[in-house]
Structure 1
Amino acid sequence: MTEYERSRTMPAQPEHVFDQAADVGRLDTWLPDALHVEAGELPAVTVHEDRADEDTAAVLRARPEQMRLEWGTREHGGYAGWLQVAGVGGGTSEVTLHLSFFDAGHDPGEGAVVDALDTSLRRLEEQVRQRVGHTAD
C-alpha cells in the first residue's frame, strides 16, 4: 500500500470550505481535470477517468459532523481517500487530502499524485475564495 497526503490553509471558515468540497454537483471544479464524478444513489458514484477512458464504480460519503469526505473504489478496492477540513482560527481552515493505493496498478506514481493533490487543493481554494467573496457582497 502506498499513501500520499497534502494540506493547504484556506481563508474561510471550515463550514464554508466543507460545504464547497462536499457539493457533489461541483466536485469537477476542484478535482483533477481528468476525473469526473457522476452521482448515482449516494453513496454510489461513478468516476470517469479521461486518461484511461474508463468508468469506475466508487463510493463517496460526506460526514458533515466531522467535516470529512471519504471515497474509494467499490468492487476491487484499488484506492481510497479522504478530505478533512479543520478550523485553525482567525477565519481560516486547513484542508488535508489523503490518498491510499492498495493496488500498485492504480498508483500513478508520487510525482503525478502529489501534483494532482496540490492542484486539487489550489482549485478548491479558488472556489472557496469565489464563494466567500460572493457571500460577502
Structure 2
Amino acid sequence: MTEYERSRTMPAQAEHVFDQVANVAQLDAWLPDAVHVDIEDPPAVTVHEDRSGQDMPALLRSQPDQMRMEWGTREQGSYTGWLQVAGIGSGASEVTVHLSFFDDSHDPGEQAVYDALDGSLRRLEEQVRLRADNTGG
C-alpha cells in the first residue's frame, strides 16, 4: 500500500470551505484535471481517469457533521481517499487530503500524485475565495 497526504491553509471558516468541498456540482472546479466524477445515485459515482481512459465505479460520501469527505473504488478496492476540513482560528481553516493506493498499478507515482494534490488544493482555495468574494465574506 502507498499513501500520500497534503494539507493547505484556506482563508475561510471551516464550514464555508466544507460547503464548497461538498458541493458535488462544483467538484470539477477543484479536482485534478485528469479526474472527472459522474454523480449517479449518491453515494454511487463513476470516476473517469484521463490517464488510464477508464471509468471506475466508486463511492463518494459526505459527512458534514465531521467536515469530511471519503471516497474509494467500489468493486476493486484499489484506491481510497479522504478530505478533512478543520478550523484553525482567526477565520481560517486547514484542508488535508489523504490518498491510499492498495494496487500499485492504480498508483500514478509520487510526483504525479503530489502535483495533482497540490493543484487541487490550490484550485479549491481559489473556489473558496471566489465564493467568499461573491457572498461578501
1:111 shift after superposition: 0.5
Counterparts of 1:32 and 1:81 in 2: how far apart (Å)?
A: 13
Instruction: State the number of aligned residues.
Output: 137
- Which structure 1 residue ranges, 4+ long, deviate > 4 Å from structure 2? none
TM norm structure 2: 0.98
Q: Quick one: which amino acid aligns to residue 130 of structure 2? A: Q
- Root-mean-square deviation (CA, aligned residues, Å) is 0.8
TM norm structure 1: 0.98
Counterparts of 1:6 and 1:34 in 2: how far apart (Å)?
A: 18
1:71 is aligned to 71
Q: Does 1:4 align with 2:4?
A: yes
1:51 shift after superposition: 1.9
1:91 shift after superposition: 0.3
- 1:122-133 equivalence runs, <5 A: 122-133=122-133
1:58 is aligned to 58
Q: Does 1:97 align with 2:97?
A: yes
Q: Does 1:86 align with 2:86?
A: yes
**CA-to-aligned-CA distance 1:102-136 (integer Å, 9 cap, x gap):** 01111111100011110000000000000011111
SS of 1:40's partner is strand
